[in-house]
Chain A
Amino acid sequence: MDILNAVVLFGNFVIIPATTYGAQLALGALGITLVFSILRFANFAHGELMSFGAMLTLFLTWYFQDAGIHAGPLPTVLLALPAGILGAIAMALVTERTVYRFYRSQKANSITLAIVSVGVMFVMAGLIRFMIGPDEHVMSDGARFLFKASEFRQATGLREGLAIKTSQVITVGVAVLMVAALFWFLHKTRTGKAMRALSDNPDLALLSGINPDRIVAVTWALTAVLAAVGGALYGLDKTYKPFVFMQLLLPIFASAIVGGIGQPVGAILGGFVIAYSEVILTYAYKKFLTYLVPESWAPEGLVQLLSTDYKFAVSFIILVVVLLIRPTGIIRGKVL
């Protein structure tokens, strides 16, 4: 029996990666939820918008690396991220002006808009493939670890190591900052309150003199910020691969719906529910259990509930179960 080693092992392979992944999903789900609560449709192009922001960030990162500009121990991506954000905002506003505004003026329903967003998704994906190709790229540089597993072992004398990657700390830290800034914006600023008002009661918002076109533009801009940051953080933590973002749509939508679509707090909760479920169900518990039970009881198999190949099935199953049992998601009620 060795509880301490078991806890460290669990922390290293479940809690830390799941928290990082949860933060990335939460940022994505917040974007979905913002668009849904103001524009009333499921934006399937959100994954590609994340990809687009991450790609621009990557381009500028390469330029900085060639020019010898770097951020010391921090990844160069952080320096390039503001430009990636601006590019994603421009992209979102261009699609709003050229595509979505037309359909809003036609008073198109949610289904039509969702299908339109699928079209936008394919165009954006094509554009990205055209600009950067289909290959995988490493985004991280600088110091790879905050502390390594070996350092942890030396410091504590435990057999198991706990490693924390720089990208993980940055992901969680930036996600917390983004969420705090978003909530401050929605609850403390005039424009943020007008967004909530428009989401709550569009007719009364009009009677109060709130200009919907302006609020919609602000919504797209905020969504693009969340998308670019989420995409770049995901690429930084893993690698940048254009194909990944279409697959990411499923866990992101699942997060938004599980939490209660249109609810920012729900999007965050949902992100962590999905991330933890995925990691917990696909982790092989053999070593973990070996620490906890007497030697003779040690399991022979991997004790893995689900192969990692099936991790996307986890979000799918959770999505189906939530829709069957609690269609409103964790947090009920009006949107935003």
Chain B
Amino acid sequence: MSFLSATGMSGGYGTGPDIIHECDLEVEAGKVAVVVGPNGAGKSTAMKGVFGMIRLREGRVMLDGRDITALSPPERVSAGMAFVPQTGNVFVSMSVQENLEMGAFVREDDITGTMRQVFNLFPVLKDKRKQIAGELSGGQRQQVAIGRALMTEPRLLMLDEPTAGVAPIVMRDLFERIRDITATGVAVLMVEQNARQALEIADRGFVLVQGRNRFTDEGRALLANPEVRRSFLGG
């Protein structure tokens, strides 16, 4: 079984109708899985299902062989998951360093080592660690957001559209950093609007349509698939 394996997820918000239907997502340790699909396909909802932010009517979420379906989001953080939301993912009134400290809030041990790793991954943050996160550029802000999530030393990092609203060159750099993160054995599951670029670095890609799995394959295989290209990648 995969490191993360979410199977047969169905659910929606509150008492509303289901947004996702029997949706499956999985990712191996040290690999990148990307969820793509048109607007309103339920990509973010599927992520929230995996992280326990919506109540799943059906389905199971297993992390490293352990059933975590019943855990609350904070409990999942303790279990080794970390989530970077698409918006509001940094504390804008706090310094970069304070953002990282808050990421490690649940940890009682020494966090200086982890912080050094984050600064190695994103060197620009080290120079700006006293700066208020709200004053950073979009790309740097995403780095703070990812850095904050990494502070608990998660084994699964979940990113909801990490490149939304950043310049193309920054996007490429962020994708490289994400590959660097997986090199340390962390599994990465992300939703991406920039489907083509994301699938290029993905070990596994999931194409969701109307809340259901439509295609699942290796990232490059999906890129090569003519039907996927025609429907979702604009030819």
In the complex, A208→B54 CA distance in Å? 17
Q: Which residues of A contact B78 (CB under 8 A)?
A: 209
Residue on B nearest A210 in the bound complex, by CB: B105
Residues of A contacting B: mostly: helix
Q: Which residues of A contact B148 (CB under 8 A)?
A: 204, 208
Could you tell me if A206 and B73 are in contact, using CB atoms closer than 8 angstroms? yes
| B61-69, B89-97, B187-195 - interface stretch | B89-97
Interface size on A, residues (CB 8 A): 20
Q: Is A194 an interface residue when CB atoms closer than 8 A count as contact?
A: yes
Residue on B nearest A193 in the bound complex, by CB: B98
Could you tell me if B91 and A207 are in contact, using CB atoms closer than 8 angstroms? no
Q: Which residues of B contact A206 (CB under 8 A)?
A: 73-74
List A residues 201-239 near B (Cβ within 8 Å).
201, 203-210
Residue interface bits B76-108, CB-to-A below 8 A is 1, else 0: 011000010100111111100010011101100
In the complex, A201→B78 CA distance in Å? 20
Q: Is A119 an interface residue when CB atoms closer than 8 A count as contact?
A: no
Could you tell me if A201 and B92 are in contact, using CB atoms closer than 8 angstroms? yes
Contact partner of A201 (CB less than 8 A), chosen from B74, B83, B88, is B88
Residue interface bits A177-189, CB-to-B below 8 A is 1, else 0: 0000000000000
In the complex, A204→B74 CA distance in Å? 11
Could you tell me if B106 and A197 are in contact, using CB atoms closer than 8 angstroms? no
Residue on B nearest A187 in the bound complex, by CB: B98
Could you tell me if A201 and B91 are in contact, using CB atoms closer than 8 angstroms? yes
In the A-B complex, the 5 residue pairs with the closest CB atoms:
A209-B106, A334-B93, A200-B91, A197-B102, A200-B93
Q: A196-B94, A201-B92 are in contact. List 20 more A-B contacts (CB 8 A).
A: A190-B105, A193-B101, A193-B102, A196-B98, A197-B94, A199-B93, A200-B93, A200-B94, A201-B91, A205-B91, A206-B73, A207-B83, A208-B102, A208-B103, A208-B106, A208-B148, A209-B74, A209-B152, A210-B102, A334-B93
Which residues of B are interface residues toward A (Cβ below 8 A)? Answer: 73-74, 77-78, 83, 85, 88-94, 98, 101-103, 105-106, 134, 148, 152
Question: What are 21 contact pairs spanning A and B, CB under 8 A?
Answer: A193-B98, A193-B102, A194-B105, A196-B98, A197-B102, A200-B94, A201-B91, A203-B88, A204-B85, A204-B88, A204-B91, A205-B91, A207-B74, A207-B85, A209-B74, A209-B77, A209-B105, A210-B102, A210-B105, A334-B92, A334-B134
